[in-house]
A and B are shown apart, each in its own frame.
Chain A
Amino acid sequence: MNFDWTDEDNQYRQDVREFLAEALPPGWSGYDKNNLPKYKEDAGKFSQALAQRGWLTQNWPREYGGQEASPWRHAILNEELWPIGEPRGSQYMNVNWIGPAIMAAGTPEQKAYHLKRISAGDVFWCQGFSEPDAGSDLPALRTRAVRDGDDYVVNGAKIWTSHVGTADFCFLLVRTDPEASKRAGISILLTPMDLPGLEVRHIPGFVGEQSFHHLIFTDARVPADCRLGEENRGWDIVRRALSYERVGASHYGRAELILDKVLDEAERTGLIDDPEIQSRIGEVEAAIAASRLLTYRVVDIRAHGSPPTADTNVSRVAQTQALRLAGELAHIVFGEEGLKAHSAGDVRRVLAFSVAAGTTEMQLDQIASGHLNLPIFRG
């Protein structure tokens, strides 16, 4: 057990920073992600530049375009990219879990087609998970896919889907056996977004203009060879994939930057001399440091080749807590300024993280069963 980065890791972090100085889109500070065509182009160029360096999918096996780099290096990359606004766009998902899911369950043709594109930085994905009646209870999803010849005919709706405006493919969960128990009848379709019968509606929100969309499938025909893994066995693949999704983003890095802004503002206004504010700053700093270490613990488990544990959920809850504490403190320290959208004290910036990628309540459920071994009621 040691808490030091290796010289190679330190050098890598430095290299990433130098790369960022060159490769980020012009005007990245304050970038407008609502101009979707430009955002897609810029995020694509950035990911391709990362790919050319061999960094985009560095943690993947060599046979799929990776370098088998240690999970620590991939964690460093996430640490550097997420706090500054994730210039890969939705491509971080491709690398963190969509690609690995395809590696685990894909046909040779699917691997050849998709993994090559993902590792080159040429493709954007979104995830078709939540439905109007299946949010936290994701296995209750009802979007129906019925086999008809060489196709599945899909009917139903997905909601709250992010990154739709840039997506080329959707990692779509569908119900293929309505008679089976909830988890047993789910399949995955790697669905092109330009599918006839797929209608996209944007849902205006206030935590990121492009956060929410409604996907409506009406007799949309998805070729059967787009199915990932066996029919009705999709849930096992998804469950494993989600354990990767939950630590793909380093929220503690973002919380650190918020805390920096808080310190600047508190020094400017003199609030830094207020003992209550000092105390809260100290607590936020401790929360951030704790969540960083809890996330490192998850990376460590992966680096040792062990299967995912509930440490993933512990990390996720700790990170959202640190971000919330930082955001709430910013809201206090920035006073009236914090009421303005997108200001450093805007509490909207940190509200959604305890909902996205599995609500905090779902994470706590997992900790209760996976870490504490608490009993499950079977009434």
Chain B
Amino acid sequence: MDLTPNDVQRQILDSVGRILERRTDPQRTRSLLESGQYDIELHADLAEAGFLALPLSGAGPLEAALVCERVAEKAGLITTAATGLVFPMVANKVAPGPVALADGPDKPFRMGQFAKVILVLDGDRALMLSPSLDDVEPVANDRTGWPLAKLSRQALSNAESLGPGSAERLRNWWRTAIAVEAAGVMRGAVATTARYVTERIQFGRPIGTFQTIQHRLAQMTVQVEGVYWLALEAAYRNAEPLFASRAATWAASAAPLVLRETQQMHGAIGFTREYPLHLWTMRLPALQRELGGLSSHARFTAKLRAKQRVEPLTPAIERSTA
């Protein structure tokens, strides 16, 4: 057990940090979002440095997860987790470009209009689709959160099945990716809010000096850091079902809290387009709903946990009355 990044992981994080510093100021991300674009340059920089192929390049899914979390924390407008973590682990090859993930043929999904490849969960099959222009149509939203898309009716006719067991594999990696991205997004929202309450003066003092604000932010920190570590552990454990589903459970449980509280602490300015908070918070509802959301993740977790009682500590020992 060693929860401190090793030298290689630190180098990766430093290098990703430099790319993100260059590419992801909130103003730029907002302008891309409002003009309906994908951050091609950020994607290209990360791909060129090999950070979207880490699971297949001698590093592993944990390193990929570290990168995805960091990109999400900086609100990068690309499909890092689908491209750099889920696709390599499910398809066992490097993604040829942006990847999007669709839960069945009918539901809107994130960033599909920019995808070179779409992985589709279709019952017990995972399908891979290289979409043509007619296969995907954007879904109108209000230019906050993620750009959303929908598959057209005929899209799946061109899809290729990834074979037996692929649906479960996709679901487990997708759950891991949800937790990884949610951890980053929520860390970004909390950090932005911590800065805001430090600068915002009311009643002659920064509002971050009020204990009601401090405690709520601290409680969010506890939730979000828990998601972060569960997400990394799930990636390290190759998205084993229990690890993946409980990470997604905790992410989906924390997301509404972080959304509600960080918006609340910002007051009116948090609802404006010019202020960047929405770059993080408005991503949470979609992450929170994917693959059936909290109830689906949690119930699946419960089923797995029920099969796996804690190993008895020693024969016939139970709790004493403490």
Contacts and interface: CB of A to CB of B under 8 A. Distances in A.
B322 A349 contact: yes
Interface string A20-43: 110010001111110000000000
Interface in A38-83: 72, 80, 83
A365 B225 contact: no
A279 to B, nearest CB: 4
A282 B316 contact: no
Nearest to B312: A17
A20, A282, A287, A377 interface centre (most CB from chain B within 10 Å):
A282
Interface stretch (A94-102, A140-148, A255-263): A255-263
A374 B302 contact: no
A372 to B, nearest CB: 5
Given A17-B314, A279-B294, A287 B209 contact: no
A85 B322 contact: yes
Interface in A82-139: 83-86
Contacts of B299: 275, 278-279, 282
B214 interface: yes
Interface stretch (A183-191, A220-228, A232-240, A288-296): A288-296
A282 B249 contact: yes
A281 interface: yes
B215 A364 contact: yes
Contacts, number: 218
A153 interface: no
Contacts of A1: 2-6, 9, 62, 66, 232, 236
A329 B232 CA distance: 27
Nearest to B227: A290
A247 interface: no
A21 B194 contact: no
Contacts of A285: 246, 249, 301-302, 305
B246 to A, nearest CB: 4
A364 B305 contact: no
Contact of B194 (A72, A279, A373): A373
B305 to A, nearest CB: 5
- Determine the main DSSP class of A at the interface with B: helix
- Determine the main DSSP class of B at the interface with A: helix
B155 to A, nearest CB: 32
Contact of A364 (B4, B209, B219): B219
B301 A254 contact: no
B298 A296 contact: no
A283 B211 contact: no
A286 interface: yes
Contacts of A294: 222, 225-226, 229
Contacts of A20: 313-314, 317
A293 B305 CA distance: 17
B233 interface: yes
Given A72-B1, A281-B305, A368 B253 contact: no
A293 B221 contact: no
B300 to A, nearest CB: 7
B208 A281 contact: no
A21 B297 CA distance: 37
A260 B310 contact: yes
A154 interface: no
A340 interface: no
B253 A283 contact: yes
A371 B194 CA distance: 10
Interface in A282-328: 282-283, 285-287, 289-291, 293-294, 296-297, 299-300, 303-304, 314, 317-318, 321
Nearest to B253: A283
A201 interface: no
B194 A263 contact: no
A278 B247 CA distance: 16
A263 B2 contact: no
27 contacts: A2-B2, A20-B313, A21-B315, A24-B314, A29-B316, A33-B322, A84-B318, A84-B320, A208-B322, A263-B306, A278-B298, A281-B301, A281-B305, A282-B299, A285-B301, A285-B305, A286-B301, A290-B227, A299-B1, A300-B2, A300-B4, A314-B225, A365-B214, A365-B218, A367-B218, A373-B194, A375-B198
Interface of B: 1-6, 9, 62, 66, 190, 194, 197-198, 205-206, 208-211, 213-215, 217-219, 221-222, 225-227, 229-230, 232-233, 236-237, 245-247, 249-250, 253, 294-295, 297-303, 305-306, 309-310, 313-322
Interface of A: 1-6, 9, 17-18, 20-21, 24, 28-33, 72, 80, 83-86, 208, 254, 256-257, 259-260, 263, 267, 272, 275, 278-283, 285-287, 289-291, 293-294, 296-297, 299-300, 303-304, 314, 317-318, 321, 342, 349, 361, 363-365, 367-369, 371-377, 379
Given A296-B3, A374-B197, A374-B217, 12 more contacts: A1-B3, A6-B1, A20-B314, A85-B321, A282-B302, A283-B298, A283-B301, A290-B227, A317-B222, A318-B226, A363-B218, A377-B206
The list of the 4 closest CB pairs from A to B, nearest first, reads A282-B298, A290-B226, A85-B320, A282-B301
